[in-house]
């Protein structure tokens, strides 16, 4: 009998302990579920607010909200050209800045005739260090700039190991991808602050989400732009300035000329025109966005992957792209 009593007492104590732990685990599970549900609801609302609702409603009057003129760098091809066209479509006068005068003349004329806006252009090679900025500053001094799009950047052309990059490529990356955004912002921001309105859009990349080997300098420059954008926004938001970091993934442009797959439009790779149309609708709504709902999902996934997994994936895919560039079929 004594043994039975001891067993019964032990059973009750174990049951009581298990009951406590079960209740504790249930509370933890409920808290986790609520947290995930709230996160999912917030994410869904954010996606709808950025990528669905603006398309359903009327277009924002960008001239009234920010100003009459926009400056777009590297604006004769790809995202820069498409973004300039979208701005012009909304009645904003355009100042194109790039290094090829013939292309600038053609794009300037096309935008002016198609959208019935004023256009100007400035020939500038951002890889030349400090050289182009006095002329740019002089050309913009009498213009009321409402929007600045820092799109110019430098990509090596293919994924490669850091020690295989030339010194010229390293300096060009610093000058075009980092210095240009700093200097262009420094030129136009005082005028925006003076009139207490303006927007600056910096084209970063999904590569700013994680350290990405084989595109080390390009990725690092995009991380810089992302950080720079967010910090400047906090500095000048109270003065009426909106600064946005755009973090797109692959877009069907000629940025990677040797790889037809990367240049081809697909479900995840919109054309530059399609991307710009979506991205511009997020202006004034989000300080950090991929600008396209499919890219938003990719960016969220990239941020949540373990760093080692992202790095291994980058090494694998970058290695394939590198081989294609070095040994084209």
Of 300, 126, 323, 83, whose CA–CA distance to 221 is shortest?
126
Whether residue 100 lies inside any domain: the answer is: yes
**Radius of gyration of the chain measured on its C-alpha atoms:** 25
Residue 202 belongs to what H/E stretch? strand 198-203
Whether residue 29 lies inside any domain: the answer is: no
In sequence order, what are the residues at sequence separation of 6 or more whose Cβ sits closer than 8 angstroms to the Cβ of residue 159? Answer: 214, 215, 317, 318, 319, 321, 322, 325
Whether residue 10 lies inside any domain: the answer is: no
**Which one of the listed residues 66, 115, 218, 224 is annotated catalytic?**
218
How many Å apart are CA 328 and CA 119, to the nearest integer?
A: 40
pTM for the complete prediction?
0.85
> Looking at residue 248, which CATH number applies to its domain?
3.40.50.720
Whether residue 3 lies inside any domain: the answer is: no
DSSP 135: H
What pLDDT, on the 0 to 100 scale, is given for residue 39? 67
How many Å apart are CA 232 and CA 43, to the nearest integer?
A: 25
Number of domains making up the chain: 1
What pLDDT, on the 0 to 100 scale, is given for residue 258? 46
In sequence order, what are the residues at sequence separation of 6 or more whose Cβ sits closer than 8 angstroms to the Cβ of residue 8? Answer: none
Whether residue 258 lies inside any domain: the answer is: yes
Low-confidence residues in the chain, pLDDT < 70 = 1-26, 36, 39, 43, 45-50, 55-58, 157, 254-264, 329
Domain limits for position 208:
60-326
User: CA 184, 187, 193: angle at the middle one, nearest 5?
Assistant: 115
Whether residue 311 lies inside any domain: the answer is: yes
Whether residue 31 lies inside any domain: the answer is: no
How many Å apart are CA 148 and CA 201, to the nearest integer?
A: 6
Q: What is the pLDDT of residues 126-163, one digit of tens each?
A: 999 999 999 999 999 989 999 999 999 877 767 889 99
Active site residue 218: yes
How many Å apart are CA 4 and CA 151, to the nearest integer?
A: 80
What pLDDT, on the 0 to 100 scale, is given for residue 1? 47
Whether residue 304 lies inside any domain: the answer is: yes
């Amino acid at each position: 009998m004594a043994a039975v009593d001891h067993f019964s007492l032990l059973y009750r104590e174990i049951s009581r302990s298990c009951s406590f732990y079960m209740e504790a685990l249930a509370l933890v599970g409920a808290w986790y579920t609520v947290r995930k549900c709230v996160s999912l609801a917030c994410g869904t609302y954010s996606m709808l607010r950025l990528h669905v609702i603006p398309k359903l409603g009327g277009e924002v009057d960008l001239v009234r909200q920010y100003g009459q003129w926009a400056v777009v760098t590297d604006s004769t091809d790809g995202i820069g050209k498409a973004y300039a066209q979208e701005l012009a479509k909304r009645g904003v006068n355009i100042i194109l800045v790039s290094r090829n005068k013939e292309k600038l003349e053609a794009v300037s004329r096309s935008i002016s005739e198609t959208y019935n806006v004023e256009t100007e252009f400035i020939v500038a090679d951002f890889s030349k260090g400090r050289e182009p900025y006095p002329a740019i500053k002089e050309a913009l001094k009498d213009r009321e700039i409402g929007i600045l799009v820092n799109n110019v950047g430098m990509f090596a052309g293919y994924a490669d190991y850091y020690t295989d990059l030339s010194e010229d490529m390293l300096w060009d990356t610093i000058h075009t991808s980092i210095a240009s955004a700093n200097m262009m912002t420094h030129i136009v921001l005082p005028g925006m602050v003076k009139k207490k309105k303006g927007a600056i859009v910096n084209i970063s990349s999904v590569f700013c989400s994680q350290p990405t080997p084989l595109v080390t300098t390009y990725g690092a420059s995009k991380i810089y732009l992302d950080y720079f954008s967010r910090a400047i926004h906090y500095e000048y938001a109270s003065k009426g300035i909106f600064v946005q970091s755009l973090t797109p993934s692959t877009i069907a442009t000629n940025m990677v000329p040797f790889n037809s797959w990367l240049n081809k439009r697909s479900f995840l790779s919109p054309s530059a025109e399609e991307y710009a149309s979506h991205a511009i609708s997020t202006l004034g709504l989000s300080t950090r966005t991929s600008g396209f709902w499919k890219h938003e999902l990719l960016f969220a996934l990239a941020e949540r992957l373990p760093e080692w997994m992202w790095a291994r994936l980058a090494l694998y895919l970058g290695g394939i792209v590198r081989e294609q560039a070095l040994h084209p079929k």
